[in-house]
Amino acid sequence: MLTQDNKIGVEMNRGFLQIMALLALETPMYGYMMLRFIEEIGYSVEENTLYPMLRRLEKNGWISSRWDVEHDRPKKYYEITKEGKIIRNKLLSIRQIQNGVITKLLKEVKNG
Amino acid sequence: MDKNLKIYLEEIDHYLILKEGKKEVLEEIESHILEKTEKNFGKISEENIQKTINLFGSAKEVAEKYLDGFQIISPSYKKYLFRYTWILFAIHYCLKIISYTFNLAFNFSPFGLSIKITGLMQLLSEALATWIYSFGIVALILYLITQSEKEINLIWPQFVVSKFKIKTLPLNAPSRLKIGIIAGLLIISLIIYFKFNTLFFMTVNLHQTPEPLFATAFSQFMSLLVIGLIFFELICSIMPYFFKTYWINLINNCVYLIVAVFLLNNPFKEIFINPSLDVLKPIGSWILIGIIVIVVFDLFKALISMVRTEKQ
């Protein structure tokens, strides 16, 4: 059962994680590799959240996948598609507008 | 494969509902758990795998994350679930009432549905089962529509509710005058019944003992039924003091409908004390059919008012 704080976190994270994944997958990566990469840049994602999200992005056609079976353990690599890049740019524009609005509102709250 | 990991993947498989790619999802999770165990603990052992599994989350939780966005019935159709259920229930139950009243049997061969009601107890006891049956059918249809992922506009019953020029019944405060009249009627009925053992007379002459209209058993039954209905009407009139709801109208109409249908089925062999009056029986049946039509119309008005109020 999700607590209220967790629910807010999930809602806030949803769009952010999608943008982050679409940015990170400019370079092909598999799930575990991506988790490590995200941790290295100072953020963290629950592993059981990342894989379903990657599946949804792939279903939307925003990323593609291929299995690498050459090594001892098969790995599913993901990479952003052309459509994904278009969506990523749109999402980034929305995000920037949202950030601008939040910044303005915060200023007003501090001044008011 | 490690035993714990195998069990864990089987559990996810059990909870996971995906149209396609289920095997790939499980392979990806397996690969992730093995790699993480190796990187975190240096070696793959049963104990280390279990630790990684614990961090990954319960099988149910993992499967639910993959179901995000999956709907059994689309939220836009959910409001129709109960509305359609009530409509289907009304049609289905009406057929049962007709079957009971006119001693008819209905067979809907393609669905294996047979309606044959032979007694009042059967009619009443099948009400819940009929509702559940209707609910199941509607839920199944809405499920299939949702899974087809097609945009289908379910315009009914909103269409009926908005287009029918039926005035919404007012949910007024209870009427003291009405309550007074009904209470008075109840007292008078009880006095007459206890004095003469019936409420129905062929002649009324203040100087003589009145002659009863009906045969003893039927007369007593009808008198008690009328007293019961007056008492029920009194309760329904007082109820708005405590509850402002159309359910009172619905229950009131349903009770009258059941009583009228029961009487129409004519369970009594001997009705009139004077057999020559039996020619009046068809008139009685037509009066009851008239009452049923009025009650059904009132029931319909109450249902429409209820749905309209719900929408506001």
The yes-or-no verdict on residue B308 having pLDDT over 80 is no
pLDDT by residue (tens digit) across B72-88? 888 778 778 888 888 88
pLDDT tens for residues A57-102? 999 999 999 999 887 888 999 999 999 999 999 999 999 999 999 9
Give the pLDDT score at B71.
76
Predicted confidence at residue A1, as pLDDT, reads 46
Instruction: Show the CA angle centred on residue B243, arms to residues B241 and B246, nearest 5°.
Output: 120
Q: If you average pLDDT over every residue of chain A, what do you get?
A: 88
Shortest CA gap B141–chain A (Å): 26
Q: How many CB pairs under 8 A join A and B?
A: 45
Task: Choose among B29, B31, B56: nearest Cβ to A73.
Answer: B31
Tokens of B26: 């499980």
**Residues of B whose CB is below 8 A from A74:** 27, 31
Residues in chain A within 8 Å Cβ distance of B66: 51-52, 55
**Residue in A55, A57, A64, A71 to test binding to B, most B beta-carbons within 10 Å:** A55
Distance, in Å, from the CA atom of B199 to the CA atom of B219, rounded to the nearest integer, reads: 8
Task: Give the position of tokens 């009056």.
Answer: B277
Considering the four listed CATH numbers 1.10.10.10, 3.40.50.720, 3.30.465.10, 3.40.50.11260, the one that applies to the domain covering A4-111 is 1.10.10.10
pTM (2 decimals)? 0.54
pLDDT tens, residue by residue, B240-273: 888 888 888 888 888 998 888 888 776 667 777 7
Cα–Cα distances in angstroms (integers) from residue B144 to residues A108, B138, B179, B233, in the given order: 51, 10, 50, 44
Note whether A85 contacts B: Cβ–Cβ < 8 A: no
- CA-based nearest distance B36→chain A, Å: 7
Q: B99 or B234: whose pLDDT is higher?
A: B234
Q: Is the ipTM of this complex over 0.90?
A: no
Mean per-residue pLDDT, B224-233: 94
Question: Does A76 reach chain B within 8 Å, measured CB to CB?
Answer: yes
| B54 close contact with A: CB closer than 8 A | no
The pairing of strands A63-68 and A29-30 is unpaired
CA distance A73 to chain B (A): 7
B62: chain A residues, CB-CB within 8 Å: 48
On chain A, the residues whose CB falls within 8 A of the CB of B25 are 51, 55
Chain B residues near residue A45 by CB distance under 8 angstroms: none
Q: Does A74 touch chain B if contact means CB atoms closer than 8 Å?
A: yes
β partners of residue B108:
B113
* A39 touching B (Cβ < 8 Å): no
Distance between CA A97 and CA B32 in Å, rounded? 36
Which pLDDT does position A81 carry in this prediction?
Answer: 95
DSSP line for B55-105: HH--HHHHHHHHTTT--SS-HHHHHHHHHHHHHHHHHHHHHHHHHHHHT-E
Ranges of each domain in chain A: 4-111
Closest CA to B171 of B239, B254, B117: B239
Residue range A10-38: mean pLDDT, rounded: 89
User: Which of the two residues, B57 and B214, has the higher pLDDT score?
Assistant: B57
Work out the minimum CA distance from A111 to partner chain B, whole angstroms: 41
Distance (Å, whole) CA B217 – CA B214 = 8
User: Cβ contact (<8 Å) for A52 and B65?
Assistant: yes
Chain B, 12 to 41: residues with Cβ < 8 Å from chain A are 21, 24-25, 27-29, 31-32, 34-36, 39
Put simply, the chain A residues between 42 and 61 with a CB less than 8 A from any chain B CB are: 46-49, 51-52, 55-56
* Closest Cα in chain A, distance from residue B149 (Å): 15
